[in-house]
Structure 1
Amino acid sequence: MFNIFEFHWRAKNRFQQVQRGILLAQNASEVEQKLLAKGYQNIHIQRNFSFPKQPKSEEITQFFTQLALLINAAIPFKQALVMQQENCTNIKLYQWLLNLNALINSGYSFSASMEKLNCYFSKQEIQLIRIGEKSGKLGLVLTNIAKARSQSEKLARKVKKVMFYPLIVLVISCLLTLGLLLFIVPQFAELYLDKAQKLPWLTAVLFYLSDTLQQQGLIWLFVLFSIVVSFLLFAKKYVNLTACQMYLLSHFPFLDRITRYSRIIFFTQNLALMLSAHIHLESALKAFLSEKMPDKVLQTQVQLSLSLLKQGYKFSEGLSSSVFSSQMVQMISIAEKSASLAEMCIHISDIYQQQLDHQIELLSQLFEPMLMLFMGGIIGTILIGLYLPIFDLGALV
C-alpha cells in the first residue's frame, strides 16, 4: 500500500484567479502534475503534517449520496468512483477507494469488493448494493441507503445535543467543587483547627477531602484522566464496551425510552430498505447478526426471531414487546396478514421518529432544572458544612 499525504495548494487559473484546495497524493510532484493538467499556473504546494483519521459517518454518507447522483446522471460507474477518489480529502477513505478501484479493475463487483475490504459499511448495505447491481437499480439503492444513513445521523446528533448540556454542567460543577475544596476549605480549616473545636461530621468530611486532594490530587487526576481516555479509545475499538454502554443507557431513567425508540427506528428502517429491495425476510434478519453490532439486545432478539421463523412461526410471534413495544408487534402482525411488511416498517419508523423527537425535547427541558438543582445542592452542601461550626458557636453564646 502506498503512503498517501495531504497537500494544501494555491495556484492561478487561466483567468489569473487565485484558487486554493486540498489534494491527496504520494508526493508533491504528483500534486503538481494534477494541477498542471487542469491548466493551473504559479503553483505553490505545502504538505500538511497530520495523522490519518478514520472517516466520519457523515463522510461515508456523502460518498453514498455523491455516487448515487453520478450514477443517476448516467456517468459510467468506474468513472464515478474515480471522480469520488479525486475529490476525497480523508486519507483513510482515499486509500480505501484506491483499493476498491483496484479490486473492481481486477474483475470484482462493487458489492464483492466492499465485502472483501470489510470496513465502513454494514452487512445490510452490502446486501442492498448486491441487489441493486443484479436489478440494475444501483443508483436508486444508493440513494435509499444515503437517506437512511442521513436519518440515523440526524437522530444521533439530536441525542448528542441533549447529552452535551448535562455534560457541560457536570464538568462546571466538578470544577467549582474542586476549586472550593482546594482554595476555600483550607482557609476555614486553619480557622477552626486553631480553636481545637469539635467539628460537625459534615465539616470534618470536607476537611478530609480537601486535605486528600492537596496531598494526592495530582495522582487522582492522572488516574481519572487515564480511565476516561482509555474508555473512550477502547469503546470505539471494541464492540463489547460499546455494547455495555448501550446496556447501561437502556436501564438508565429517562434514557431507557429513548434507547428503545432508537432501536425500533434503526431496526425498522434497515428492514424496510432490504424488504423493499426484495430481499427475503430471513436473509434480511441475518444481516443484523454482525459482530460489529453494538446493540446486543437487538442481536439476541433477531436470533430468536430467526430460529422461530425456521420452525414455522410468524415473524411477529418472535418479537418481544419488552425489547420493542406492544404497539410495534401488533402493527407487524397486521402487516404480515396484509402482505405489506415493508410499507408497515416505514410507517412504524415514522411514528417512532415523531415520538423520539418529542422525548428528546421533553428530556432537554427536564434536564435544565434538575442540573441546576444538582449543582446548587453540591455547592450548598459545601457552604453549609463550612459554616456549621459558626452556627454551633452562636448557639453556645
Structure 2
Amino acid sequence: MNNPPVTRVAEFDIVAKAKAGAMRSLRLAAIDAAAATRLAEREGLRVLSCTPHRNSFSWGGRGVAGVTRTRLDIALFAHELASLLDAGLGIIDALETLAEKERLLETRRVFEKMVQALKEGRNFSAVMGERPDVFPQLLVASISASEQTGDMAAALRRYSANFETLRTIRSKALGAAVYPLMLLGVGSLVVLFLLAVVVPKFSTLIESTRGEIPFASQVLIQLGKTIHAHPQLVAALFIGVFLALIWAIRHASRAGWNLPVLQRLPIVGPLIRMFRHAQFYRTSGMLIEGGIPVVRAFDMCGSLLTPEDNRKLVRAVASIREGGAIGPALQQVGLADPVALRMLMVAQRTGKLAEILARIAAFQEATLSRAIDVATRLFEPVLMLCIGLVIGAIVVLMYLPIFDLASSIQ
C-alpha cells in the first residue's frame, strides 16, 4: 500500500495594501507563494510582495537554510542603484546600467531577468522577493515600503549605510581575533617542535649519564619519544584539530554566531549579545523610517537577537500590542538598558522613534568597540604569558637532570 504524498506547508511574509490604502504586513502558511498570495487576496488585500519566511534573518550571506546566496555585494548594489536613481534614471534604466557593468555572468543574468519582469509591469519589491538567494528580506521589505512613499533612493541609501556600519563592526571583531589565533598557532608549532625534535635528542644525552631523572622530566621525555616515534599520527591529529577549528568557525558564522556555547563564554558571550542588540536597534530603526509599523519591524528583526533574547522580544511585542509603551516593555524583558529606556521615553514624546533607535544603536556600537579593544589588550598578553610558561616549563624540565648531575659531581 503506497503512502499518500506529504504536503509541505511553509510560512510566507506578505506586504499588502488594503482597500482603504493602509499598508499591512502579515504572515500566512501555505504550500507555495502563489497559494499565500491567493489567501491574502481573498481578504481583500492587494499583494505587493510575498517572500518565504526565514528562520534566520540576515543582512547578507545565508538567508534561507540551505540556500547559498549569489555573489552580489548587496551594500554596493544598493549604493549604486540609489546613485543612478538620484541621477534621474528610471528603475529599468538603472538596472540595465548595472547589468552592463557587471562582470559576473550569474549576477548579470539576475539583473536582466529583473528588467524583463519590470517591463511586464510587476513591482520591484515583488521581483526582488522571488530571489531570496540574492536579496535579503530586509532589503525587500524596505523597497516594498518605499514604493508607497516614493523614496526608493533614500531607502537604498539607508540600507547601504546601515549594512556598511554593521559590516565594519563585524570586521573589527573578527580582526581582533586574528592575531590571538595566529599567536596560538605559532606557539603550538613551537611546542610541538620542542617535543618532537629537541626533547628526544636531549633524552639521549640525559639517559647516558645513568643518573636519577626527576619524575616530571621522565614524563616529558616519554612524551617526546612517543611523538618522535609516531610523526604521522601527530601530524594527522594536528591537521584534524586545525580543520575542526575551521569547520567550527564556518559553522558559527553560518549560524550568525547564535551558538549557546559562544554565548556562555565569559568575555565573548556579552560581546556577541551587545552586537546583536546594536544590530536589532539599527535595523528596526531603518525599517520604521521606511514606513513599516513598529510591531512588524520588531517581529522582522527578532531573529537578529540571540534565541533567548528573541523569546524575550516576543513578550515585549505582545505588551506593545496591548498598548504598552515601547521603552518599558523592552526594559522589563532586559532588552533596554537605562540609557536606551530614557531615549525611548523621549522618542515616545517626540515621535522620532526611528532616529532614537539609530542613536541607541550608535551608542551601543561605540560601547562594543571600546569593549573589543579592552578585551584584546587583556587577552593577548595573557595568551603570550601562557605560551611562554609552557615553553619555559619544557626547557626547564629538559635541563633539570643536567643541573642535578652537575650538583652531584660537585
Asked if Structure 1 and Structure 2 have the same fold, meaning a TM-score greater than 0.5 normalized by the shorter chain, the answer is yes
3-state DSSP of counterpart to 2:204 = helix
TM-score scaled by structure 2?
Answer: 0.73
User: In structure 1, what is the Cα distance between the partners aligned to 2:257 and 2:270?
Assistant: 18
1:220 partnered with 2:237: yes
2:278/2:361 contact within 8 Å kept: yes
Against the structure 1 CA distance between its residues 101 and 296, is the aligned structure 2 distance closer, same or farther, given a 3 Å change threshold? farther
Report the Cα offset of residue 296 of structure 1. 2.7
For structure 1, the residue ranges without an aligned partner over 5 or more in a row are: 1-52
Partner of 2:279: 266
Alpha-carbon spacing, 1:104–1:384, altered in 2? closer, same or farther (3 Å) = farther
2:144 corresponds, among 124, 130, 134, to: 130
Match of 2:382 among 370, 373, 379: 370
After superposition, where does 1:1-397 map in structure 2 within 5 Å? 59-214=73-228, 215=230, 216-237=233-254, 239=255, 242-244=257-259, 247-290=260-303, 293=304, 295-320=306-331, 322-397=334-409
Report the CA distance shift for 1:71/1:390 in structure 2 as closer, same or farther (over 3 A): same
Distance in 2 separating the partners of 1:174 and 1:324: 42
* Per-residue deviation, residues 161-208 of structure 1 (Å, max 9, x unmatched): 211111221111111111111211111222233445554343233334
CA distance in 2, matches of 1:304, 1:208: 59
> Given the superposition, is the C-alpha separation of residues 188 and 145 from structure 1 closer, same or farther in structure 2, using an over 3 Å criterion?
same
Q: Residue 308 of structure 1 contacts residue 318 of structure 1 at CA under 8 Å; is this kept in 2?
A: yes
Question: Residue 284 of structure 2 contacts residue 301 of structure 2 at CA under 8 Å; is this kept in 1?
Answer: no
Q: CA deviation at 1:153?
A: 1.2
SS at match of 1:175: helix
Q: Which amino acid aligns with 2:190?
A: L
Q: After TM superposition, what 4+ stretches of structure 1 lie above 6 angstroms from structure 2?
A: none
Q: Which amino acid aligns with 1:304?
A: R
Q: Are 2:202 and 2:398, in contact at CA under 8 Å, matched by a contact in 1?
A: yes
Partner residue, 1:23: none
SS for the counterpart of 1:288 is helix
Query: Counterparts of 2:296 and 2:178 in 1: how far apart (Å)?
Result: 38
Q: 1:103 to 1:391 in 2, by over 3 A?
A: farther
Matches of 2:188 and 2:250, distance apart in 1? 23
**2:344/2:356 contact within 8 Å kept:** yes
Alignment partners' CA distance in 2, 1:391 and 1:192: 11
Secondary structure, aligned partner of 2:301: coil
Distance 1:198 1:120, change over 3 A: farther
Output the CA distance in 2 between the equivalents of 1:227 and 1:368. Answer: 23
Q: What's the CA shift string for 1:5-35, capped at 9, x where partnerless?
A: xxxxxxxxxxxxxxxxxxxxxxxxxxxxxxx
Post-superposition Cα deviations, 1:42-96, rounded to whole Å, max 9, x if no partner, equal: xxxxxxxxxxx96667x22111100000011110111111211222234553343
**Structure 1 vs Structure 2: percent identity of aligned residues?**
22
In structure 2, the CA distance between the partners of 1:342 and 1:184, relative to structure 1 (3 Å rule), is same
Relative distance call for 1:346 and 1:395 in structure 2 (3 A) is same
Change (3 A) 1:229 1:116: same
Matches of 2:319 and 2:152 in 1, distance apart?
33
Amino acid in structure 1 at the alignment position of 2:297: A
The superposition leaves residues 102-126 of structure 1 with CA deviations (integer Å, 9 ceiling, x where unpaired) of 4434443221122221124433322
Tell me how far apart the structure 2 counterparts of residues 206 and 101 of structure 1 sit (CA, whole Å). Answer: 70
Separation in 2, partners of 1:66, 1:113: 18
CA contact (8 A) 2:166 2:279 kept: yes
Whether the 8 Å CA contact 1:263–1:324 is kept in 2: the answer is no
Structure 2 partner of 1:40: none
Once the two structures are TM-superposed, the CA of residue 271 in structure 1 deviates from its matched residue by 1.4
Listed one character per residue, the Cα deviations across residues 119-178 of structure 1 (whole Å, up to 9, x for unaligned) are: 244333221110111111101110111111111111112112211111221111111111
1:136/1:206 Cα in 2 relative to 1: closer, same or farther (>3 Å)?
same
Mapped to 2, the partners of 1:225 and 1:371 lie a distance apart of 18
Instruction: Check the 8 A contact 2:274/2:368 in 1, yes or no.
Output: yes
Assess, with a 3 A threshold, how the Cα gap between structure 1 residues 228 and 92 changes in structure 2: closer, same or farther: farther
- Work out whether residues 143 and 155 of structure 2, in 8 Å CA contact, stay in contact via their aligned partners in 1: yes
The aligned amino acid for 1:81 is L
Q: Following the alignment from structure 1 to structure 2, what is the Cα–Cα distance between the partners of residues 119 and 126?
A: 12
Superposition RMSD in Å = 2.8
Q: Which amino acid aligns with 2:313?
A: V
> Helix, strand or coil: the match of 1:287?
helix
- Equivalent position SS for 1:117: coil
Letter in 2 for 1:279: I
Greater displacement, 381-390 / 305-314: 305-314
Q: How many residues align?
A: 338
- Residue in 2 that maps onto 1:15: none
Task: Specify the code of the residue in structure 1 equivalent to 2:295.
Answer: E
SS in 1 for 2:404: helix
